[in-house]
Amino acid sequence: MTSHERVVRAVTFQGPDRVPFNLPAPWGTDIAGCGVGGDPSFQPSVKTDTEWEDEFHSIWRKLPGDKTMGQVVGHPLKDYAMLDDFAWPDYTVEARYEGARKACADNPEDKFLLGNIPMSLIHRLEYLRGHIEAWTDPYEYPEQLHALLNKLGDIAIQAVDRLADLGAHGIMSCDDWGLQDRPMLSPATFAEFFKPVYQRVYHHAHERGMLTFLHSCGHITDLLEHFIEAELDVIQQDQQENMGVDTLAERFGGRLCFWCPVDIQQTMVHGTVEEVRAYARMLIDKLGCYNGGFIAQWYASPQAVQHSQEKIDAMAEEFVNYGATVYAGGVS
C-alpha cells in the first residue's frame, strides 16, 4: 500500500495497512506538501526589515528579536466602503504554482500530496478589518461581512482548481477557532457567517476529487459538528486534553479523521517518557479504531513548547511501531 492509498484509507475509514504518520527524520512521512506560493509580480508598497505589505495589502511589523510572525499594524479594509473596489490577489497566476507543479510531478514514492490554500477566514478577516472589527462585524455589518467572506471563498476556490489540475490529493487551511475552554464565537454565529464558505469550498474540493483538511487550535468541540456538515474530512489539532479524547471519540469518531500529536501542552511537557508512549497508543486506540480515523503527527516547533528530544523520539517510535500492528491485530 502506498502512502497516498494509506492516507486515503485512513481518512475514509476503509482500513489502511497501518496508521499513517507525518513525523521528523528519521521516521519519515506519508504526506508531502505542494503549497501555493506568492505572486512574483506583486510590488509591495512597504518592504523593510521590520515592515512589509502582504498581497492582501495588510501592513505587518516585526521588531528585532521578535520570534513570532509579527503583527498587523495596517488594516486595509477598515472601512467597508472600500470593499467594492478592493484589489484582491489573483490566485489563478500560474507562477504561484511552480513548487506545487514540481511536487506533483516528482512523487516517486506516491505520497499523499497536500496543498495549502489561502482560506484562513477568521485570521484574514482580522488582518483586513482589525481585531475588534472582526468580532463585531457579525452584529454591526452582517451583509458586508457575508460579501467579504464570500470573496475569500472565491479566492480559495481559485487555488483548489489549480491544485486539482496539477494532481494534488487534498487541500489544507488554518483557522484557530478556539480558546482554551470554548470556541471564540458562538456556534450559531459560526454557522451563519463562516460555515457556508467552508461548505462551498470543501464541496468544490470533493467535486474535484480532493480530501479536505483544516488545522484549528483550541477548544472547538462545539464547532466540529458544523465542520462535518460542511464536508471537512480531517481536523489537525495539537491540543486534545482541553476537549478530552474520550469526548472527541464518542461524538465524532468514525465521522471525522483526527490528525494529532501527543497533546503538546500537557503530556509532551509535563508527562514522563512512558506517559508519552501510553498517550500515543491511546490516541490510536480511541481515535483510530474506526477502520481508520487517525493520522499521527508531531509538533514541528518543539523548542517553542519545551518538548525534549527524548519525548519526541518516544512519541514517534510508539506511533510507528504500535501503529503498524493495530489494524493487522483487528482494531475495528
Digit-by-digit pLDDT tens for the chain (332 residues) are 999 999 999 999 999 999 999 999 999 999 999 989 999 999 999 999 899 999 999 999 998 888 778 999 999 999 999 999 999 999 999 999 999 999 999 999 999 999 999 999 999 999 999 999 999 999 999 999 999 999 999 999 999 999 999 999 999 999 999 999 999 999 999 999 999 999 999 999 999 999 999 999 999 999 999 999 999 999 999 988 889 999 999 999 999 999 999 999 999 999 999 999 999 999 999 999 999 999 999 999 998 899 999 999 999 999 999 999 999 644 44
Grid coordinates of 100: 506545487
Task: Give me 115's grid cell.
Answer: 496543498
Residue of 18, 57, 16 whose CA lies nearest to 39: 57
pTM across the whole model: 0.96
* C-alpha to C-alpha distance for 30 and 170, rounded to whole angstroms: 13
**pLDDT tens column, 58-113:** 999 998 888 778 999 999 999 999 999 999 999 999 999 999 999 999 999 999 99
CA-based nearest residue to 75, from 61, 93, 94, 95: 61
* Predicted pLDDT at 160: 98
Domain extents for the chain? 3-39+90-323
> Which residues, in sequence order, are CB contacts of 92 under 8 Å at separation 6+?
158, 162
CATH top-level class of 3-39+90-323: alpha beta
Rg of the chain, C-alpha, whole Å: 20
Confidence (pLDDT) at 65: 82
Tell me, what's the pLDDT at 69? 84
pLDDT the model gives residue 66: 82
The pair phi, psi for residue 137, each rounded to 5°, is -55, -35
pLDDT for 88 = 98
Q: C-alpha distances in angstroms, 292 versus 35, 211, 239, 308?
A: 26, 15, 20, 29
Q: What is the DSSP annotation of 128-190?
A: HH-HHHHHHHHHH-HHHHHHHHHHHHHHHHHHHHHHHHHT--EEEEE---B-SSSBSS-HHHI
**Distances in whole angstroms, Cα of residue 133 to Cα of each of 125, 129, 141, 175, 264:** 9, 6, 9, 17, 31
The reported pLDDT for the residue numbered 175 is 96
pLDDT tens digits for range 250-259: 999 999 999 9
Going 131 to 133 to 139 to 145, the CA torsion angle's sign is negative
- Backbone φ and ψ for 281, nearest 5 degrees, come out as -65, -40
